[in-house]
Amino acid sequence: MNLSVRLCGLTLDNPIIPASGCFNYGKEFAAYYDINILGSFSFKGTTWHRRDGNFTPRVAEAPAGMLNAVGLQNPGVQHVVAHELPEMQAYFHKPVIANVSGFSVEEYVNTCRLLDAQEQVGILEVNISCPNVHGGGMAFGTSPENAAAVTKAVKAVTAKPVFMKLSPNVTDIVTIAKACEDAGADGLSLINTLQGMRIDLKTRKPILANTVGGLSGPAVFPVALRMVWQVYQAVHIPIMGMGGVSSARDVIEMMLAGATAVQVGAANLVNPFACKDIIENLPEEMEKYKISSLEEIIGGAHT
C-alpha cells in the first residue's frame, strides 16, 4: 500500500494534515502520539499583530458539528517565528504549513514574506475565508477581484508554494478559485467553515458573543465534497480538501472528488487521536476498495 502523495514539490508520507485552528502548533498532540506520522499539519492561523480573539462564549454545540467564533486568537507572526517554530523542531521534523490571515493586503504580504523565509515552512496557506472577524478574512474571499489581489501580492514576495484557503459562504466558489489560479496560486484549500448560529432558549439571545460563528464537523462534509468536486473540474492546481472529514473513508471520498491532500479539523477536538486513527485505518480501507496507491485515485470519480 502506497499512502504517499506529492504536493507542490513536497512528498508527504500520507495525505493527512490536521487543519489550522484545530491543532495549535502540534505540541499538545505530540504529548499523546508521535505526530511525525502525519503528512504535515497546518499551524494556528497567524496574523501580523497579536490578537486576543473574540469575546466569550465563542464555541457552541450543533447537530453533527460545532460552531466557533474564536476570532483568530494568536500571538502574532514575530512571536511565532521567534518561539513557536524553533520549539517545534523538537517534536516535528517535517515541513509544516503556515496558515496566514490579514486585515489588509499589506498585512498578508508582510506576514507571508516573514514566514516564507522560515526553514520549517513548506507551504503558505493564505486564509481569505475566516467568517469570525470583522473587516478581514472572508472580506477578501467573497470577491474574485479581492481574492486575486491578495494572491498576486503574496506571490510577489514569496518563493514557496501558496495555497489560497477559500470560503464556502459564496454563490460561486469556482469563479473565486479560478481567479486565484489566474493570479498565480500554486494550490487551493477548501472549504473553511459555513456561517451559522445558535440561540439560547432561556435567555432568548445568541449563544455566541459574536452572534454568528463557523460551522464545522460531519454536517459540512457533503458541502465540502461538492465544492472540491466543482473546483477540481475547473482548475489545474492541486487542492487540499477539508470540511467534516473524520474517517479514512471520508479521506478516500475526498480524494476521489479531487483532493491531493486532506485536512482534518473538528475531529481532532473530539478525539485527539483522530488523525492517527485515520492514518492507521487507511490501508484496510484501501484494501477493501482495491486501491494500491492513494495518489492514483485523485479525481478518480470524474472519469
User: pLDDT digit string (tens) for 248-288?
Assistant: 999 999 999 999 999 999 999 999 999 999 999 999 999 99
Indicate whether 67 belongs to any domain: no
Indicate whether 148 belongs to any domain: yes
- Rounded CA-CA distance 105/117 in Å is 19
Indicate whether 84 belongs to any domain: yes
- pLDDT band (50, 70, 90) for residue 131: low
- Rounded CA-CA distance 142/133 in Å is 14
Indicate whether 210 belongs to any domain: no
CATH number of the domain encompassing residue 294: 3.20.20.70
- The mean pLDDT of the chain is 95
> Is 130 an active-site residue?
yes
- pLDDT band (50, 70, 90) for residue 137: low
Q: How many domains does the chain have?
A: 1
**CA nearest 189: which of 7, 58, 2, 3?**
7
Q: What is the pLDDT of residues 164-211, one digit of tens each?
A: 999 999 999 999 999 999 999 999 999 999 999 999 999 999 999 999
**CA nearest 233: which of 177, 184, 190?**
177
Select which of 8, 22, 112, 130 is catalytic. 130
Domain that holds residue 163: 5-55+72-199+217-302
Distance set, CA 2 to CA 96, 229, 246, 297, 299 (Å): 21, 23, 21, 11, 17
Indicate whether 31 belongs to any domain: yes
Indicate whether 64 belongs to any domain: no
Indicate whether 225 belongs to any domain: yes
Q: What is the pLDDT of residues 9-41, one digit of tens each?
A: 999 999 999 999 999 999 999 999 999 999 999
Which segment of 59-68, 79-88, 97-106, 139-148 scores lowest on mean pLDDT? 139-148
Which residues are CB-neighbours of 203 under 8 A, at least 6 positions away? none
Indicate whether 209 belongs to any domain: no
